[in-house]
Structure 1
Amino acid sequence: MLRVVVLGAAAGGGVPQWNCGCPVCRAARSNHPELQSTQASIAFSGDGAHWFLVNASPDLRQQLIATPQLHPKQGVLRHSPITGVILTNGEIDAVAGLLSMREGSPFTIYAHERVLAILRSNSVFNVLSEKNVGRRGIAVDAAFEPALPDGSPSGIEVVPFEVPGKGAWYLEGKTHPAGRDGAGDTLGLRIADKRSGKYFYFVAACARVTDDLRERLKGAPLVFFDGTVWRDDELIAAGLGNKTGQSMGHIAMSGEHGAISSLDGLDIGRKVFLHINNSNPALLGTSAERKAVEQAGWQIPADGTEIVL
């Protein structure tokens, strides 16, 4: 059995974003609190007792409080069921929550060397003492099995793979701590329970769907996929910014080359959008965009949604 909990489904800033007055954020603050969502992250477990996070969002503390599966054991003074954190990129959305895990409970960070180099280059992450928090490198297309706290195998196999994207925005124009060239800035994950054979894919950032990616996702029982914007020029059209989705490393949901069209016809069992920006009109339950999402067989999850495979 493989259990997955959506800790947060929103893109950077969450919904509502602290300084945003767009229609979605206004609705989330007033008469539609169900629109409120924290920043994108999931937790998964093969045994229901030991959990691994995929990315550690800035909202992690709030997410852990809201998720009973991740609470300490009853009657234990200090405990956490979180055994490891797998990072798919070095963006603030993915790594800032690590700083909320500095209170001494042991766990392991799994990340590509390019992301580990970012953590090493910023001394604030030294609050995560390597005596308690190990850092293990992962490689593109190399399967690994994250370990349980006692070092024994977890029974989970994770395969990281490269997807089209870009490096962390705060490093634009600067020298990357791991050097200029190399894959690993944006990863997708195939996560499988070795005992049952159940598996799913996690792709929270993706600039375009390649033939290789289509082939990987074909027939998957569950796919979490980048749903940042509905249309590529969404932020510009709404007066919220001057960047397109593509320039930020994110594919649009709609359009001839968007995620909905590109992943159609692949016999995917359950398709779930994650990392959805507050500007995206598909968040509104009565919008034409939401109707189009649902008619195409996609889901926009609420925080706390649990899926069992």
Structure 2
Amino acid sequence: MRVLILGAGAGGGLPQWNCGCRNCNAARTGEIPSMTQSSIAVSADGEAWALINASPDLRGQLALHAPLYPKGLRGSGLHSVLVTNGDIDHVAGLLTLRESQAFDLFATPAIHDVLAANPVFTAMNPEFVTRKRIALDHEFALLPDLSARLFAVPGKVPLYLEGESVRTDLLGENTVGVELTANGRRGYYIPGCALVPDWLLDRIHGADLLMFDGTLWSDNEMIEAGLGKKTGRRMGHAPVSGEGGSLNAFDEAALGRRIYVHMNNSNPLTDPRSAQTALAGASGWDIGHDGMEITL
């Protein structure tokens, strides 16, 4: 199994267009790496590829990776697309894929309903794009030699669907993790998760790879930095550090590689020089970055 991290950043990327925080300024000057918004590509043979989450930065991401280039006058190795929730940073890139390219679009029924309710997504011509509704905990062929299974993880509805009362621990079709299996290897992609319950540890035990939500280092990070008014948990993301954080929550799970993805511009993990990056490394975590390739 091959995995390309096309974008390791959370919504807005790094630098975020209107943010003058330390990390964004450092990324603008090249002191630390920039990050585009969350997306990966996976393959079992290096020829046929599936995209998981379609970020607003998708066009530029595809242009940087030769395995995803067109194979002739028109077309590419991209055969299917899967979205894990309805967040803007995971579905806006679908509009980039409206150029008469045939592919299957996989999502839960709830997320397909969100897409169907927005007429802008009719730009994806149904003559080319087949929308496939996938039930939770049902194994399906994401590619001919690569199987996937969607499962609910704690989360919330997309920001644009929030009402007056917001639950961030919902278990259902709105926020899912992805289990990937190919050639005897098993990996997980979970870019959004509000809690790390014991059953999740049991589920991923023994996997060759875990790519997990690393949005914020600390729950109050954006508030303390003066960048926002919400905690990480209110945004539907478990913090990396602190009580209930993911840094040590997976210590008892036997895992091959564990990699943080979907990191916010405020997160010190985006700075390879930071003490937090060193601490994560000492705890067995790699920090995802744009262009990272993992071969299992």
TM over 0.5: yes
Match among 86, 97, 109 for residue 93 of structure 2: 97
Residue matched to 2:16: 17
Identify which range, 43-52 or 279-288, moves more after superposition.
279-288
Amino acid at match of 2:127: K
Deviation at 1:302, TM superposition (A): 2.1
Query: How far did 1:199 drift?
Result: 1.5
In 2, distance between residues paired with 1:146 and 1:131? 19
Structure 1 CA distance for aligned equivalents of residues 153 and 288 of structure 2 = 23
CA contact (8 A) 2:153 2:172 kept: no
Deviation at 1:255, TM superposition (A): 1.1
Number of matched residues? 292
Residue of structure 1 aligned with 2:172, choices 180, 183, 190:
183
Cα deviation, residue 256, structure 1:
2.6
Q: Is residue 153–residue 171 contact of structure 2 (8 Å, CA) maintained in 1? A: no
- 1:178-257 aligned at under 5 Å gives the runs 183-193=172-182, 196-257=183-244
Residue among 88, 102, 109 paired with 2:105: 109
SS in 2 for 1:125: helix
Q: 3-state DSSP class of the match of 1:146? A: strand
* 1:77-107 CA distance string (max 9 Å, x none): 1011100101100000110000001110100
Describe the superposition over 1:138-165 as per-residue Cα deviations: whole angstroms up to 9, x where unpaired. Answer: 1111111135xxxxxx021111100001
Residue number in structure 2 paired with 1:178: none
Q: Which amino acid aligns with 2:163?
A: G
Distance 1:237 1:42 in 2: 31
**Residues 25-59 of structure 1: CA distance to partner in whole angstroms, max 9, x if unpaired?**
00000141x42010011000111111001100010
Using the TM superposition, name which of 297-306 and 243-252 deviates more: 297-306
Question: Cα RMSD over matched residues?
Answer: 1.4
CA distance in 1, matches of 2:245, 2:142: 33
Question: What's the offset of the Cα at 1:206?
Answer: 0.3
Aligned equivalents of 1:304 and 1:263: distance in 2?
Answer: 25
For the residues of structure 1 that align with 2:125 and 2:171, how far apart are their CA atoms? 28
Report the counterpart of residue 120 of structure 1 in structure 2.
116
- The runs of at least 4 aligned residues of structure 1 exceeding 2 Å deviation read none
Alpha-carbon separation, structure 2, partners of 1:220 and 1:191:
10
- State the distance in 2 between where 1:39 and 1:203 align: 15
TM-score (norm 1): 0.92
Tell me the SS of whatever aligns to 1:126: helix
Task: Indicate which of 158, 164, 171 corresponds to 1:168.
Answer: 158
Q: CA deviation at 1:288?
A: 1.3
Partner-residue secondary structure (3-state), 1:215: helix
Question: How far apart are the structure 1 equivalents of 2:171 and 2:248?
Answer: 30
Is the aligned partner of 1:28 residue 2:6? no
Offset, 1:284: 1.3
**Identical aligned pairs, as a percentage?**
46
What are the ranges of 5 or more consecutive residues in structure 2 without an aligned counterpart? 165-169
Preserved CA contact (<8 Å) 1:83 1:107: yes
Q: 1:271 Cα deviation (Å)?
A: 0.5
Deviation at 1:267?
Answer: 2.0
2: CA distance, partners of 1:114 / 1:216: 23
Distance in 2, matches of 1:210 and 1:13, equals 28
Give the corresponding residue for 2:167. Answer: none
Task: State the AA in 1 paired with 2:51.
Answer: L
What are the Cα deviations for residues 256-298 of structure 1, in whole angstroms up to 9, with x where unaligned? 3100111113121100000000000121122111111111111
Shift in Å, 1:182: 7.6
